């Protein structure tokens, strides 16, 4: 008579519990291991594999979580103009990743091919098509937008070396200004003169300045 196999471990957690733990680890240490995630939620490392087959799957899940959450709110409001919706998405992504800078690198290193990411891509294609772009230009514009948003955020986050949320914007600008003020004007006159502007590269104003010009450039004439 065949005997029944031993039951697998009970799923007492959810995938979101583990992803939240991974995000906390990224905030605290700048990295998230399976062992560290398990310790955060009080289980053995093997229990994490009940939900995710490997660390790559955790990273993919985090990418999905962050992009999926940013795709709600004003961006999903179909009554708003297309540019307003894209700006809302860009601002929300920046706010999320400035609060969790350790996750910014994941968005650039992990594959962006999950269902939530694909749904976000689909909506951007729809918005650009509705703005008058042909399918090819809508696809190119979607890629350009994602490249700008994630690239700008990655550079902003890379300006800091400590894990955890970034310091207030004013503090970061002041520190950058102090550094740029050391540029010798007799050697680099243009850079020295541009110090006030360069110190503000990490501001919301600069981020939106670039976004608006990007959208101006791809709008059909």
Mind listing the pLDDT tens digit for each residue in 103-133? Answer: 777 777 767 778 888 988 999 999 999 999 9
Q: Quote the CA–CA distance of 134 and 30 in Å, as a whole number.
A: 41
Name the residue among 81, 72, 152, 84 with its Cα closest to residue 120.
Answer: 72
- 17: in domain: yes
3-state secondary structure of 181: coil
Helix crossing, 101-109 with 15-29: angle to 10°? 110
What is the DSSP-derived secondary structure letter of residue 168?
P
Q: Tell me the two tokens of residue 180.
A: 């740029």
Which residues in the chain come in under a pLDDT of 70? 1-11, 110, 220-221
Task: Mark whether 40 and 73 lie in a shared domain.
Answer: no
Shared domain check, 124 and 75: yes
Residues 83 and 172 in one domain: yes
Domain that includes residue 45, residue range: 12-53
Cβ pair 14, 41 in contact under 8 A: no
Residues 34 and 73 in one domain: no
Other beta carbons within 10 angstroms of residue 73's beta carbon come to 13
The structure's pTM equals 0.82
At 73, list the tokens. 């709110």
Q: How far apart are CA 148 and CA 44, in angstroms?
A: 40
Classify residue 81: in a domain, yes or no: yes
**What is the tally of structural domains in the chain?**
2
**Residue 160 domain-assigned (yes or no):** yes
Judge if 46 and 112 occupy the same domain.
no
Whole-number pLDDT of residue 2: 44
Asked if 48 and 37 count as a contact pair (C-beta separation under 8 A), the reply is yes
Residues 151 and 45 in one domain: no
């Amino acid at each position: 008579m065949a005997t029944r196999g031993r039951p697998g471990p009970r799923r007492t957690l959810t995938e979101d519990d583990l992803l939240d733990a991974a995000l906390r680890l990224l905030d605290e240490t700048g990295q998230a291991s399976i062992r560290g995630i398990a310790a955060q939620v009080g289980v053995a490392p093997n229990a994490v594999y009940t939900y995710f087959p490997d660390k790559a799957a955790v990273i993919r899940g985090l990418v999905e979580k962050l992009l999926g959450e940013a795709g709600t709110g004003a961006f999903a409001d179909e009554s708003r103009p297309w540019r307003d919706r894209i700006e809302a998405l860009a601002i929300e992504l920046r706010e999320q990743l400035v609060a969790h800078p350790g996750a910014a690198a994941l968005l650039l290193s992990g594959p962006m091919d999950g269902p939530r990411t694909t749904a976000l891509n689909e909506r951007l294609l729809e918005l650009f098509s509705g703005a008058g772009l042909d399918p090819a230009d809508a696809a190119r514009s979607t890629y350009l937008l994602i490249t700008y948003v994630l690239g700008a955020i990655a550079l902003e986050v890379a300006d800091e070396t400590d894990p955890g949320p970034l310091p207030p914007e004013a503090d970061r600008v002041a520190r950058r200004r102090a550094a740029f003020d050391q540029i010798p004007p007799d050697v680099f006159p243009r850079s020295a003169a541009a110090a006030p502007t360069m110190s503000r590269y990490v501001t919301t104003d600069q981020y939106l300045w670039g976004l608006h010009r990007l959208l101006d450039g791809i709008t059909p004439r």
